[in-house]
Amino acid sequence: VTSSIPMSTWVATLAVTAVASAADGARYTPSQRQSIGLWPLPSNQTSGDTTLAVLSSGFTFPVTGPTTPTLTAVIKRYQGLIFLHGTGAQTPDRVDTPPVKAVGSDALNSCSIKVTDGTEVLTWGMDESYSLEVSTKGCAIAAHTFVGVGYALETLSQLVLSDGGVYSSGSPTYWIPNTPWAIADTPRFGYRGLMVDTARHFLPLNALRRQIDGLSFNKMNALHWHLTDAQSTPLTSKAFPNLQLGAFHPNAVYTLDDIKGIVEYARLRGVQILLEIDMPGHSFAFGVGYPELILNCSSMYPLETEFWTSSLDITRGEQLYSWLETLLTELTAVLPNTLFHIGGDEVQYQCWSSSDVMVAYLKSRNITAVQLYVAFHLLAFPPPSSYRSVSAQPAHKPLSIPEHRPIVQILDRWTVGVAVVALLIACAPISGTTSLNRG
């Protein structure tokens, strides 16, 4: 499309528009929200038709029940989120003010919180329910845990609207429409998560924190952190300093303190970190610093496939298992929960069958590649007792990763979602007289 308007006219028009927009922006400060839209939709809710003023200055959250440092931090965070434009005068000075109820005895100046459980630890399946009531009689939150309180405060932050200071000379006005509100909410799903992949695309800590904030705003409770893969190992290790040689750049790494800090940041927002170290496939980057641990199949396919075809060299036996035990013990020490993800996907058996060493290893033990894959997981991560219905038991003590249960997430052709979570592969029988050991 062509135009007969001179370029100078376009520039002048854009400049005038920019000035007008700037002037308008000075007058109409962006608002945190000017209409109700609860997300996610609570399990049960009722509302009315009365608009209630909220006094931001001096607003309090009196607590009944265990007042822990975690609960205090949650309340302090939402004090800022609910009153996003700060606190100040509540007297409008414009004729086109929003329909805010006149400041008086009905104006809301506090919200009571009743909590029954003083736990500060996140656990899978913990009680995340809450209730929230807002009316001219007051505001009341009830929950069993600090997570439930956080979700209630998130809902309250969505109910509180603001003019951003437009109607009161820069001092923001806050109100809640459609009172009285009565909300009773509990998650439909126990696991509500999102995965980030920092192995293929390194994310700085601030990006991870922003993602966790987004999860908490949506009342999601899990961040699956796919930390390592064939492309990179963005991780430092005190035990294995060469591990970070597999990173994209010396600065594109996470220290153990970084991981610990992210775990704590997430905990305060009701989000658990499910850390994943992918194995035995997708492990090429481990071999940059420790080439002896990798079965390298880079010559088997074109260059672009060497990353995902190569895997940990299970024929290394005790050398490999001891290395893994040390690394994972170091990692899980900074993880407070009991789940740890070990990937397990896309092991390329054609890579194994192309290696003379691997072929000889399988033949000497009279097992198939699939059976070796199962044996690896049984040795590296013993399944829960309820899964020990296998025909061959380890002939030694498996890797000792205290108080952490690994999971393998099995997908059915990437179309129907998660088919099984837990060590399903541990149920596969290993026939013959083979005993499982690290040799």
Catalytic residue positions, numbered: 346
Instruction: Enter the tokens of residue 355.
Output: 């290696």
- Give me the DSSP letters along 281-339: BS-TTHHHH-GGGEE--TTTS-GGGHHHH-EE-GGGTHHHHHHHHHHHHHHHTT--SSE
Plot region of 346 (φ>0 → left; ψ -120 to 50 → alpha; else → beta): left
* 128-134-137-138 Cα dihedral, nearest 10 degrees: 60
One-letter amino acid identity for 131? Answer: S
What distance lies between CA 249 and its chain's CA centroid?
24
Spatial distance between the Cα atoms of 147 and 115, rounded to a whole number of angstroms: 10
Nearest by Cα to 161 from 183, 138, 150, 177: 177
Q: Cβ atoms within 10 A of the Cβ of 292, count? A: 10
Spatial distance between the Cα atoms of 259 and 168, rounded to a whole number of angstroms: 44
Tokens 């399988």 identify what position?
362
Quote the DSSP letter at residue 60.
B
Identify the three-state secondary structure at position 14. Answer: helix
Spatial distance between the Cα atoms of 416 and 351, rounded to a whole number of angstroms: 28
By 3-state DSSP, what share of the chain in percent is helix, strand and coil, each rounded to 5? 35, 20, 45
Quote the DSSP letter at residue 19.
H
Residue 142 bridge partners (DSSP): 114, 131
With contact defined as beta carbons under 8 Å apart, do 223 and 274 qualify?
yes
Nearest by Cα to 259 from 286, 280, 246, 277: 277
